[in-house]
Amino acid sequence: MPPDSPQPFSDESVREGAAGSLDSVLAALDYLVLEAVEDASLRVRGAVPDWFESIYGGGIDVALAESPFLTCFVKEVARPLWKEAPTVPVRSGIWTEAVPDASGNELTELHLEAIAMHGANGAGLLVIQFMGRRFEEIQMLTQRANEKALEHRQLSREVQKKDVLLRCIVHDLNNPLGAVLLNLELLATSDDEQVKAAASLALEAARRQRSLIKSITEVFSSDLSRLSRNRGSAEVVGEFVRGGEYVVNMHLNQALRRSVSILLEDGLTGVVAGERKVIGELEPFVRAVENLVLNALRYAPRDSVVIVRLLALDEGMQVQVEDAGPGVEPELVGGLFDPFTQGTTNRGAMGLGLYFCRMTVEQWGGSIVYEQASGGGARFVFTLPWAGDASQHNYET
C-alpha cells in the first residue's frame, strides 16, 4: 500500500537501498521472497536464489503450476491470511515433491518450506525456503527417534512375552507340587518307619524342587521375581486407596479426550480401620488396577463413566472396575484370564493384561472374576484377603 502522504525523497532511497541489500542476503540464504500484487498474482521481490532459477527457470507461475503443495498453500493458507490484518507468520511445514531435473527427464526430490506473512507495508508476502542440508539433518533426527521408539516397543513386547511364558511354566510346575508336598507331609507322619523315611526323602527333594523353581523365576523374570519375593507381604488399606486414586488421576486426561470420566468410589476410608492390612503390594496392585482401567477405557463409549470401586467385604478388600461398554461376549468369558486366549491371537494385548491381573491377585491368595454390570457393560472384580487370616497359609499354587 502506498503511504497517504509522500515521503521525503532521501528517506525513500535509503529504504530502497536497505531493502535491496536485505533481498540479496535473503537470496544468499536460499530464501525466495514473493509479494502478492493487486491482480492476485505473485511477483518476485529482490534476487532470485539459484535453486529456484535452476528448477523453475520460467518463474513463479511455472512453480505454481508444477507444485501442488505451493498451489494449495497459497490458496488455502496464504491468501486467506493476507486478507486479514497483519498477524503472526504461518509456516507451511516442510514438503517434498519430485521435480524433473535440468535435463527435464530424471525426477529429483525437492524439499521446501514456505512462510505466509505480511510485509512492513501490510502487503502479503510469501517466503519460500530451500531446505537443502537441513532437510537431511531433520530427516535423520526424525528417523532415529522413530526407530528408537519402534525398537523400544519391540523389546518390551519380547520381555512381556518371555515373562508370560515363564509364568505359564512356573504355574504349571508349581501346581502339582503343592499337592505333592501336602501328601508327602502327611505320609511323613506315618507310623511305618519305611514309609516315613521314604516320604521324608521325597519331601526334601520336592522342597528343593520348589525352591529351584522359585530361584529360576527370580533370576529370569522381571515381574515375577519381585512378586514371589514379596509373597505374603501386607500393606495397610490406606495405601491401596492411594493406589486407586493414583490410577484414576493418571488416566483422567486420556479419558477426557474421549469424553469419558473415571470415578473412584471409595468404600474403604472410614469404613474399615485405616491400619487394617491387606495381603498384597502397592506397585503390582497399581499395575493390575491400571490394566483393568485401560481395558475399560478402551471399550467405554463416549460420555460414559468408568467406575473404580473399593469395598470392604468379610473375606477381604474388593476392587471393581466397571465400564458401560458392550461387555465381554459370552463365549470369550471362559478364557478371559488365560494367556494367549483360546489359541486365537486376536485378543492381543488385552489377553496379556488380564492374565497379569490374575497372576498378581492369585499370588496374594486373592481371586479375580468377570461379571456383567447391570447396564450390560463389563465389570472386573478382584478380592484380596485381609492379612492375618489363618486360612491363607497353605502352599501357594
Partner 1 sequence: MTKKLKKKLCLIGSFGVGKTILVSKYVKGIFSEKYLSTVGVMISQKTVEIGDCEVLLMVWDLAGEDDFQGLRLSFIKGASGVLFVADGTRAETLRLTQQHMERLGEFYSDIPTLLLLNKADLQDQWDIAEAHLDEVRGKVKVFRTSAKTGENVEEAFVRITEMMIAPDEPTTEAFL
Our finding on whether 72 is near partner 1 (CB under 8 A) is: yes
Residue 292, C-beta contacts closer than 8 angstroms, at least 6 positions apart: 321, 353, 357, 380
Q: How far is CA 117 from CA 2, 79, 82, 113, 128, in A?
A: 18, 10, 7, 13, 11
Our finding on whether 135 is near partner 1 (CB under 8 A) is: yes
Count the residues in the chain.
Answer: 397
Residues 271-330 that bind partner 1 (CB under 8 A): 298-299, 326, 329
Q: Which of residues 76, 101, 158, 172 is near partner 1 by CB under 8 A?
A: 76
Q: Could you tell me the smallest distance in angstroms from the CB atom of residue 167 to partner 1?
A: 20
Our finding on whether 79 is near partner 1 (CB under 8 A) is: no
Our finding on whether 348 is near partner 1 (CB under 8 A) is: yes
Our finding on whether 345 is near partner 1 (CB under 8 A) is: yes
Residue 78, C-beta contacts closer than 8 angstroms, at least 6 positions apart: 36, 90, 114, 116, 124, 126
Nearer to partner 1, 215 or 346 (CB): 346
Stretch that binds partner 1, among 18-26, 138-146, 309-317, 367-375 (CB under 8 A): 138-146
Q: Could you tell me the smallest distance in angstroms from the CB atom of residue 247 to partner 1?
A: 19
Q: Could you tell me the smallest distance in angstroms from the CB atom of residue 43 to partner 1?
A: 24
Nearer to partner 1, 202 or 332 (CB): 332
Q: Which of residues 85, 257, 314, 390 is near partner 1 by CB under 8 A?
A: 257
Q: Could you tell me the smallest distance in angstroms from the CB atom of residue 235 to partner 1?
A: 32
Shortest CA distance to 216 belongs to which of 284, 163, 170?
170
Our finding on whether 342 is near partner 1 (CB under 8 A) is: no
3-state SS, 161-230, equals HHHHHHHHHHHHHHHHHHHHHHHHHHHCCCCCHHHHHHHHHHHHHHHHHHHHHHHHHHHHCCCHHHHHHC
Our finding on whether 75 is near partner 1 (CB under 8 A) is: yes
Nearer to partner 1, 43 or 153 (CB): 153
Stretch that binds partner 1, among 91-99, 174-182, 209-217, 357-365 (CB under 8 A): 91-99
Stretch that binds partner 1, among 49-57, 67-75, 162-170, 227-235 (CB under 8 A): 67-75
Nearer to partner 1, 95 or 246 (CB): 95
- Kindly report the CA angle at 361 between 356 and 367, in degrees rounded to 5? 115
Q: Could you tell me the smallest distance in angstroms from the CB atom of residue 301 to partner 1?
A: 9
- How far, in Å, CA of 77 to CA of 88, rounded? 13
Our finding on whether 159 is near partner 1 (CB under 8 A) is: no
Query: Do the beta carbons of residue 364 and residue 280 sit within 8 Å?
Result: yes
Q: Which of residues 12, 53, 106, 147 is near partner 1 by CB under 8 A?
A: 147
Our finding on whether 90 is near partner 1 (CB under 8 A) is: yes
Q: Could you tell me the smallest distance in angstroms from the CB atom of residue 57 to partner 1?
A: 21
Residue 336, C-beta contacts closer than 8 angstroms, at least 6 positions apart: 328, 354, 370
Q: Could you tell me the smallest distance in angstroms from the CB atom of residue 127 to partner 1?
A: 16
Nearer to partner 1, 208 or 298 (CB): 298
Task: Report phi then psi at 262, rounded to 5.
Answer: -115, 135
Q: Provide the 10 A C-beta neighbour count for residue 308.
A: 22
- How far, in Å, CA of 205 to CA of 199, rounded? 10
Our finding on whether 95 is near partner 1 (CB under 8 A) is: yes
Which value, to the nearest 10 degrees, does the dihedral of the CA atoms of residues 286, 295, 339, 361 take? 30
Our finding on whether 113 is near partner 1 (CB under 8 A) is: yes
Cell of 351: 489377553
Q: How far is CA 50 from CA 17, 35, 55, 71, 130, in A?
A: 22, 19, 9, 21, 10
Our finding on whether 28 is near partner 1 (CB under 8 A) is: no
Q: How far is CA 319 from CA 136, 255, 277, 306, 315, in A?
A: 53, 20, 15, 13, 13
Q: Which of residues 17, 57, 58, 68 is near partner 1 by CB under 8 A?
A: 68
- Binding residues for partner 1 (CB under 8 A): 68-69, 72, 75-77, 90, 92-98, 111, 113, 135, 138-139, 142-143, 146-147, 149-150, 153, 257-258, 298-299, 326, 329, 345-350
